[in-house]
Structure 1
Amino acid sequence: MQSYVKKILTARVYDVAIESPLDHLPRLSRRLDNRIMLKREDLQPVFSFKLRGAYNKIASLPAELLAKGVICASAGNHAQGVALAANTLGCRAVIVMPQTTPAIKIESVKNLGGEIVLHGDAFDEAYQHARELESQEALTFIHPFDDPDVIAGQG
Protein backbone atom coordinates (compact mmCIF):
# COMPACT_ATOMS: atom_id res chain seq x y z
CA MET A 1 0.00 0.00 0.00
CA GLN A 2 2.78 2.41 0.91
CA SER A 3 4.49 1.88 -2.46
CA TYR A 4 1.23 2.84 -4.23
CA VAL A 5 0.97 6.03 -2.19
CA LYS A 6 4.52 6.95 -3.21
CA LYS A 7 3.75 6.13 -6.87
CA ILE A 8 0.61 8.27 -6.75
CA LEU A 9 2.42 11.22 -5.20
CA THR A 10 5.24 11.06 -7.76
CA ALA A 11 3.11 10.36 -10.84
CA ARG A 12 3.97 12.59 -13.80
CA VAL A 13 0.38 13.34 -14.71
CA TYR A 14 0.59 17.14 -14.65
CA ASP A 15 2.85 17.18 -17.70
CA VAL A 16 -0.38 16.71 -19.69
CA ALA A 17 -3.35 16.77 -17.29
CA ILE A 18 -4.75 19.79 -15.51
CA GLU A 19 -5.24 20.01 -11.78
CA SER A 20 -8.99 19.74 -11.88
CA PRO A 21 -11.10 21.43 -9.21
CA LEU A 22 -13.25 19.90 -6.51
CA ASP A 23 -16.78 21.29 -6.63
CA HIS A 24 -19.10 21.20 -3.66
CA LEU A 25 -22.51 19.65 -4.36
CA PRO A 26 -24.84 21.41 -1.89
CA ARG A 27 -28.10 19.65 -2.79
CA LEU A 28 -26.61 16.17 -2.64
CA SER A 29 -24.70 17.13 0.53
CA ARG A 30 -27.95 18.15 2.22
CA ARG A 31 -29.73 15.03 1.02
CA LEU A 32 -27.00 12.75 2.37
CA ASP A 33 -26.28 14.90 5.42
CA ASN A 34 -22.60 15.01 4.52
CA ARG A 35 -20.23 17.24 2.56
CA ILE A 36 -20.09 15.83 -0.98
CA MET A 37 -17.39 17.00 -3.38
CA LEU A 38 -17.08 16.22 -7.09
CA LYS A 39 -13.64 15.94 -8.72
CA ARG A 40 -14.05 17.55 -12.13
CA GLU A 41 -12.06 15.15 -14.30
CA ASP A 42 -14.48 15.97 -17.11
CA LEU A 43 -12.39 19.14 -17.54
CA GLN A 44 -9.32 17.16 -18.66
CA PRO A 45 -8.22 17.45 -22.31
CA VAL A 46 -9.94 14.11 -23.08
CA PHE A 47 -12.82 14.67 -20.61
CA SER A 48 -11.75 11.79 -18.34
CA PHE A 49 -9.30 10.74 -15.64
CA LYS A 50 -8.06 7.98 -17.97
CA LEU A 51 -5.48 10.37 -19.45
CA ARG A 52 -3.66 10.42 -16.11
CA GLY A 53 -3.01 6.68 -15.99
CA ALA A 54 -2.11 6.37 -19.65
CA TYR A 55 0.34 9.26 -19.51
CA ASN A 56 1.97 8.09 -16.29
CA LYS A 57 2.52 4.60 -17.74
CA ILE A 58 3.81 5.75 -21.11
CA ALA A 59 6.06 8.43 -19.55
CA SER A 60 7.63 5.73 -17.36
CA LEU A 61 8.74 3.63 -20.34
CA PRO A 62 12.43 3.57 -21.26
CA ALA A 63 13.41 5.31 -24.51
CA GLU A 64 13.83 2.05 -26.44
CA LEU A 65 10.24 1.01 -25.70
CA LEU A 66 8.89 4.49 -26.46
CA ALA A 67 10.61 4.29 -29.84
CA LYS A 68 8.76 1.05 -30.66
CA GLY A 69 5.34 2.40 -29.64
CA VAL A 70 2.40 1.41 -27.50
CA ILE A 71 -0.90 -0.39 -28.02
CA CYS A 72 -4.17 -0.62 -26.13
CA ALA A 73 -7.68 -1.97 -26.52
CA SER A 74 -10.49 0.44 -25.75
CA ALA A 75 -13.62 1.94 -27.24
CA GLY A 76 -13.56 5.12 -25.25
CA ASN A 77 -11.76 7.18 -22.66
CA HIS A 78 -8.67 4.99 -22.27
CA ALA A 79 -8.18 5.03 -26.05
CA GLN A 80 -8.25 8.82 -26.08
CA GLY A 81 -5.91 9.02 -23.09
CA VAL A 82 -3.36 6.67 -24.68
CA ALA A 83 -3.53 8.52 -28.01
CA LEU A 84 -2.97 11.94 -26.42
CA ALA A 85 -0.29 10.71 -24.02
CA ALA A 86 1.65 8.96 -26.78
CA ASN A 87 1.32 11.94 -29.11
CA THR A 88 2.59 14.27 -26.38
CA LEU A 89 5.59 12.00 -25.79
CA GLY A 90 6.32 11.53 -29.52
CA CYS A 91 5.38 7.88 -29.45
CA ARG A 92 3.35 5.74 -31.87
CA ALA A 93 -0.01 4.60 -30.46
CA VAL A 94 -2.01 1.75 -31.95
CA ILE A 95 -5.56 1.69 -30.62
CA VAL A 96 -7.59 -1.49 -31.17
CA MET A 97 -11.32 -0.78 -30.98
CA PRO A 98 -14.36 -3.00 -31.55
CA GLN A 99 -16.03 -2.47 -34.92
CA THR A 100 -19.09 -1.27 -33.02
CA THR A 101 -17.26 1.77 -31.60
CA PRO A 102 -19.15 5.03 -32.24
CA ALA A 103 -17.70 7.12 -35.06
CA ILE A 104 -17.25 10.11 -32.75
CA LYS A 105 -14.86 8.10 -30.54
CA ILE A 106 -12.92 6.81 -33.55
CA GLU A 107 -12.53 10.34 -34.95
CA SER A 108 -11.47 11.69 -31.57
CA VAL A 109 -8.72 9.08 -31.23
CA LYS A 110 -7.55 9.74 -34.81
CA ASN A 111 -7.45 13.48 -34.12
CA LEU A 112 -5.28 12.80 -31.07
CA GLY A 113 -2.77 10.88 -33.21
CA GLY A 114 -3.84 7.29 -32.59
CA GLU A 115 -3.64 4.63 -35.31
CA ILE A 116 -7.02 2.89 -35.31
CA VAL A 117 -7.44 -0.85 -35.80
CA LEU A 118 -11.08 -1.98 -35.78
CA HIS A 119 -11.45 -5.61 -34.77
CA GLY A 120 -14.31 -7.75 -33.47
CA ASP A 121 -17.80 -6.94 -32.29
CA ALA A 122 -16.97 -6.61 -28.59
CA PHE A 123 -14.21 -5.42 -26.30
CA ASP A 124 -12.93 -8.94 -25.53
CA GLU A 125 -12.19 -9.56 -29.21
CA ALA A 126 -10.46 -6.19 -29.57
CA TYR A 127 -8.45 -6.88 -26.41
CA GLN A 128 -7.29 -10.28 -27.66
CA HIS A 129 -6.30 -8.81 -31.03
CA ALA A 130 -4.36 -6.02 -29.30
CA ARG A 131 -2.40 -8.61 -27.30
CA GLU A 132 -1.58 -10.45 -30.54
CA LEU A 133 -0.42 -7.23 -32.23
CA GLU A 134 1.62 -6.39 -29.13
CA SER A 135 3.75 -9.49 -29.75
CA GLN A 136 3.85 -9.24 -33.55
CA GLU A 137 4.94 -5.59 -33.61
CA ALA A 138 6.95 -5.46 -30.34
CA LEU A 139 4.66 -2.77 -28.90
CA THR A 140 4.08 -2.11 -25.19
CA PHE A 141 0.54 -2.89 -24.07
CA ILE A 142 -1.07 -0.16 -21.95
CA HIS A 143 -3.69 -1.85 -19.79
CA PRO A 144 -6.68 0.35 -18.89
CA PHE A 145 -6.52 -0.47 -15.16
CA ASP A 146 -4.45 -3.53 -14.21
CA ASP A 147 -1.01 -1.90 -14.09
CA PRO A 148 0.73 -0.21 -11.13
CA ASP A 149 1.78 2.86 -13.16
CA VAL A 150 -1.70 3.27 -14.62
CA ILE A 151 -3.25 2.93 -11.17
CA ALA A 152 -0.83 5.48 -9.69
CA GLY A 153 -1.50 7.94 -12.50
CA GLN A 154 -5.24 7.62 -12.10
CA GLY A 155 -4.67 8.32 -8.41
Structure 2
Amino acid sequence: MAAAGHAGADTAGDDWPTRLRRRFLAARTVMLRHPWAPALVSSRPGVPSSVYGYYEGILATLVEGGFSYRIAHRALHAFGSLALGFAQEIFQPAAGDEVDADAAEAQLAALAEQLPHLAAMVAAETHDAADPTLGWCDSQTEFEFTLDLLFDGLERARSGVTPR
Protein backbone atom coordinates (compact mmCIF):
# COMPACT_ATOMS: atom_id res chain seq x y z
CA MET A 1 0.00 0.00 0.00
CA ALA A 2 3.04 2.24 0.07
CA ALA A 3 2.63 2.96 -3.64
CA ALA A 4 -1.00 3.95 -3.10
CA GLY A 5 -0.02 6.11 -0.13
CA HIS A 6 2.57 8.00 -2.18
CA ALA A 7 0.28 8.28 -5.22
CA GLY A 8 -2.49 9.57 -2.97
CA ALA A 9 -0.28 12.19 -1.32
CA ASP A 10 -2.23 15.12 -0.01
CA THR A 11 -2.20 18.50 -1.67
CA ALA A 12 -2.25 21.49 0.65
CA GLY A 13 -5.64 23.13 0.76
CA ASP A 14 -7.66 20.12 -0.40
CA ASP A 15 -10.66 19.19 1.73
CA TRP A 16 -10.87 15.82 3.46
CA PRO A 17 -13.13 14.10 0.88
CA THR A 18 -10.84 15.15 -1.98
CA ARG A 19 -7.80 13.90 -0.10
CA LEU A 20 -9.42 10.54 0.75
CA ARG A 21 -10.85 10.12 -2.76
CA ARG A 22 -7.39 10.65 -4.24
CA ARG A 23 -5.88 8.15 -1.79
CA PHE A 24 -8.56 5.48 -2.36
CA LEU A 25 -8.52 5.87 -6.15
CA ALA A 26 -4.72 5.58 -6.12
CA ALA A 27 -5.10 2.35 -4.14
CA ARG A 28 -7.67 1.16 -6.69
CA THR A 29 -5.23 1.85 -9.52
CA VAL A 30 -2.71 -0.37 -7.74
CA MET A 31 -5.29 -3.13 -7.28
CA LEU A 32 -6.34 -2.96 -10.94
CA ARG A 33 -2.70 -3.44 -11.92
CA HIS A 34 -2.38 -6.41 -9.57
CA PRO A 35 -5.66 -8.39 -9.80
CA TRP A 36 -4.39 -11.08 -7.43
CA ALA A 37 -3.89 -8.56 -4.59
CA PRO A 38 -7.50 -8.31 -3.28
CA ALA A 39 -7.62 -12.08 -2.71
CA LEU A 40 -4.26 -11.95 -0.93
CA VAL A 41 -5.30 -9.04 1.29
CA SER A 42 -8.65 -10.70 2.06
CA SER A 43 -6.94 -13.94 3.06
CA ARG A 44 -5.05 -12.30 5.93
CA PRO A 45 -6.59 -12.64 9.42
CA GLY A 46 -5.17 -9.31 10.59
CA VAL A 47 -3.93 -6.01 9.26
CA PRO A 48 -0.55 -6.45 7.54
CA SER A 49 2.05 -4.25 9.26
CA SER A 50 2.79 -2.53 5.95
CA VAL A 51 -0.78 -1.14 5.90
CA TYR A 52 -0.62 0.64 9.28
CA GLY A 53 1.12 3.69 7.83
CA TYR A 54 -1.53 3.89 5.12
CA TYR A 55 -4.32 3.81 7.72
CA GLU A 56 -2.45 6.46 9.72
CA GLY A 57 -2.74 8.77 6.70
CA ILE A 58 -6.48 8.09 6.44
CA LEU A 59 -6.99 8.80 10.15
CA ALA A 60 -4.87 11.96 9.97
CA THR A 61 -6.98 13.20 7.06
CA LEU A 62 -10.21 12.58 8.99
CA VAL A 63 -9.00 14.12 12.26
CA GLU A 64 -7.57 17.15 10.42
CA GLY A 65 -10.96 17.38 8.68
CA GLY A 66 -12.71 17.83 12.02
CA PHE A 67 -13.72 14.27 12.91
CA SER A 68 -13.43 12.78 16.37
CA TYR A 69 -11.45 9.58 16.76
CA ARG A 70 -14.75 7.84 17.50
CA ILE A 71 -16.26 8.79 14.11
CA ALA A 72 -12.90 8.23 12.34
CA HIS A 73 -12.82 4.70 13.79
CA ARG A 74 -16.33 4.05 12.51
CA ALA A 75 -15.35 5.50 9.14
CA LEU A 76 -12.49 3.00 8.82
CA HIS A 77 -14.98 0.19 9.34
CA ALA A 78 -17.41 1.72 6.86
CA PHE A 79 -14.68 2.13 4.24
CA GLY A 80 -13.64 -1.50 4.64
CA SER A 81 -11.77 -2.72 1.59
CA LEU A 82 -12.65 0.44 -0.39
CA ALA A 83 -9.82 2.20 1.41
CA LEU A 84 -7.51 -0.45 -0.02
CA GLY A 85 -8.85 0.02 -3.55
CA PHE A 86 -11.37 -2.77 -4.01
CA ALA A 87 -14.84 -3.82 -2.91
CA GLN A 88 -14.99 -7.22 -1.28
CA GLU A 89 -17.88 -9.19 -2.73
CA ILE A 90 -19.42 -12.14 -0.89
CA PHE A 91 -20.91 -13.92 -3.89
CA GLN A 92 -19.31 -14.47 -7.28
CA PRO A 93 -21.17 -15.42 -10.45
CA ALA A 94 -19.69 -18.08 -12.68
CA ALA A 95 -16.75 -16.84 -14.75
CA GLY A 96 -17.57 -15.75 -18.31
CA ASP A 97 -15.97 -18.79 -19.93
CA GLU A 98 -18.05 -21.13 -17.75
CA VAL A 99 -21.43 -19.65 -18.68
CA ASP A 100 -23.68 -21.17 -21.31
CA ALA A 101 -25.49 -18.16 -22.83
CA ASP A 102 -28.70 -20.11 -23.53
CA ALA A 103 -28.78 -21.56 -20.03
CA ALA A 104 -28.11 -18.12 -18.52
CA GLU A 105 -30.98 -16.59 -20.52
CA ALA A 106 -33.34 -19.39 -19.43
CA GLN A 107 -32.24 -18.91 -15.83
CA LEU A 108 -32.90 -15.16 -16.05
CA ALA A 109 -36.39 -15.83 -17.48
CA ALA A 110 -37.17 -18.23 -14.61
CA LEU A 111 -35.77 -15.72 -12.14
CA ALA A 112 -38.02 -13.00 -13.56
CA GLU A 113 -41.10 -15.01 -12.66
CA GLN A 114 -40.07 -15.54 -9.05
CA LEU A 115 -38.04 -12.40 -8.35
CA PRO A 116 -39.05 -9.70 -10.80
CA HIS A 117 -37.13 -6.82 -9.23
CA LEU A 118 -33.90 -8.78 -8.92
CA ALA A 119 -34.24 -10.02 -12.50
CA ALA A 120 -34.93 -6.51 -13.79
CA MET A 121 -31.87 -5.16 -12.00
CA VAL A 122 -29.62 -7.91 -13.36
CA ALA A 123 -30.96 -7.32 -16.86
CA ALA A 124 -30.57 -3.54 -16.59
CA GLU A 125 -27.09 -3.49 -15.10
CA THR A 126 -24.08 -4.33 -17.19
CA HIS A 127 -20.75 -5.01 -15.58
CA ASP A 128 -17.26 -4.68 -16.91
CA ALA A 129 -16.08 -8.26 -17.31
CA ALA A 130 -12.53 -6.91 -17.73
CA ASP A 131 -12.50 -5.52 -14.17
CA PRO A 132 -9.85 -7.71 -12.56
CA THR A 133 -10.61 -6.87 -8.94
CA LEU A 134 -12.53 -10.13 -8.51
CA GLY A 135 -15.80 -8.46 -7.61
CA TRP A 136 -18.91 -9.10 -9.68
CA CYS A 137 -20.27 -5.60 -9.23
CA ASP A 138 -17.03 -3.81 -8.49
CA SER A 139 -16.94 -1.42 -11.42
CA GLN A 140 -15.35 2.01 -11.21
CA THR A 141 -18.73 3.76 -11.18
CA GLU A 142 -20.04 1.64 -8.30
CA PHE A 143 -16.77 2.09 -6.41
CA GLU A 144 -16.97 5.88 -6.65
CA PHE A 145 -20.74 5.90 -5.95
CA THR A 146 -20.08 4.07 -2.69
CA LEU A 147 -17.32 6.52 -1.76
CA ASP A 148 -19.71 9.42 -2.36
CA LEU A 149 -22.35 7.84 -0.11
CA LEU A 150 -19.84 7.27 2.66
CA PHE A 151 -18.33 10.75 2.37
CA ASP A 152 -21.80 12.36 2.45
CA GLY A 153 -22.76 10.33 5.51
CA LEU A 154 -19.51 11.17 7.27
CA GLU A 155 -20.01 14.86 6.55
CA ARG A 156 -23.44 14.65 8.17
CA ALA A 157 -21.92 12.90 11.20
CA ARG A 158 -19.19 15.55 11.45
CA SER A 159 -21.84 18.25 11.29
CA GLY A 160 -23.62 16.80 14.30
CA VAL A 161 -26.16 14.49 12.66
CA THR A 162 -25.11 11.39 14.57
CA PRO A 163 -25.77 7.98 13.03
CA ARG A 164 -27.37 5.47 15.32
Larger gyration radius, structure 1 or structure 2: 2
TM over 0.5: no
Compare the two structures and name the one with the higher helix fraction. 2
**What TM-score comes out, normalization by structure 2 length?**
0.25
Compare the two structures and name the one with the higher strand fraction. 1
